[in-house]
Amino acid sequence: MATEILSEARSLRKIAIVDSHTAGEPTRCVCSGADELGKGTLAERMERLRRDHDDLRRAILCEPRGSDVLVGAWILAPDTPECAAAVIFFNNAGYLGMCGHGTIGMAVTLAHLGRIGPGAHAIQTPVGLVKVKLDGANTVTVENVPAYRSKKAVTVDVPGYGIVTGDVAWGGNWFFLVESDQRLELANVDHLTDFTWAIRGQLEASGVTGAQGAEIDHIELFGAPRDPANHSRNFVLCPGKAYDRSPCGTGTSAKLACLIADGKLAPGQAWRQEGILDTVFEGRVRIDDGKVIPSITGSAYITAEATLLFDPADPFRQGIGT
């Protein structure tokens, strides 16, 4: 009997993870199992994960091992020598080009694992190289990919809610940013989720997209901050219908691009973005050859080191979800 139990234990697949949260939003860094994705460029490995091993995305993030709010960051060897690491971001609904809070969480995780030290490092993402600057154990500044506003003052008639006007902007993901008088409070999350989900559906129904027909899969509401030390407060709905607990790094980047386009923010000027949990990201931009390069500063904390176990006899070993 003991031999049989030992044999079964050895058949369990294992994947090492480190969990963290950035301003309240969790990141699950995947630290092993990259052999499944084979060799090649980051784009090739991401496509291999999407095409051949999407069950791993679901198994790592979704129930019963995870939850809808988790964002995954699969840490890989870079295919370009100037980078400290490469990463594929994913969530309960699919794959993300970039993730601001996830990059902050990944940088703190890499430091926790002894793979990087204080100072500046380059990280390879599916949408391009980003830079991270590690200040101490928990604080990170991410210099993101160029951000820009694609369309200004787009109006859609949202069933049940009426006319909604917003800007379409890129901050590493596509956003529809709406100035709103909605109550941006944790107690109002159910209503905010319904409202923003309806906006997303109407954008799709109306054919409103990002560049080259890209789906707008993030909706950002913003309004007056609770703390007068901050400039704005936001609520961001992510692609899988989970709301961002943090002020959203790519969403803040998109917001900064809109502010620059409207002449409401100067290069180098700080913008303090408050999230639904009252946590804050501080953003700045620099202009490089006419491009808006946003930087986001936030803090992350390690919450767990663990080994995920995949029992071939477990009917839910591949996760519950889509």
Note if 258 is an active site residue: no
| Cα–Cα distance for residue pair 18/172, rounded to 1 Å | 24
CB 255 within 8 A of CB 220: yes
CB 141 within 8 A of CB 135: yes
Note if 248 is an active site residue: yes
| 270-271-275-280 Cα dihedral, nearest 10 degrees | 10
Gyration radius of the chain over CA positions: 20
| Cα–Cα distance for residue pair 88/75, rounded to 1 Å | 7
Number of H helices, E strands in the chain: 6, 16
CB 23 within 8 A of CB 101: yes
Show the tokens assigned to 167: 């800007």
Which of 31, 62, 248, 258 is catalytic? The answer is: 248
CB under 8 Å to 255, separation ≥6 — which residues? 169, 171, 177, 220, 222, 232, 234, 271, 273, 283
Which of 31, 62, 83, 99 is catalytic? The answer is: 99
Cα–Cα distances in Å, from 229 out to 192, 226, 232, 294? Answer: 24, 9, 10, 20
Burial 42-54 (b: 16+ CB within 10 A, else e): beebbeebeeeee
Of 111, 123, 92, nearest in space to 243 by CA:
92
Cβ count within 10 A of residue 144: 28
Q: Catalytic residue positions?
A: 99, 248
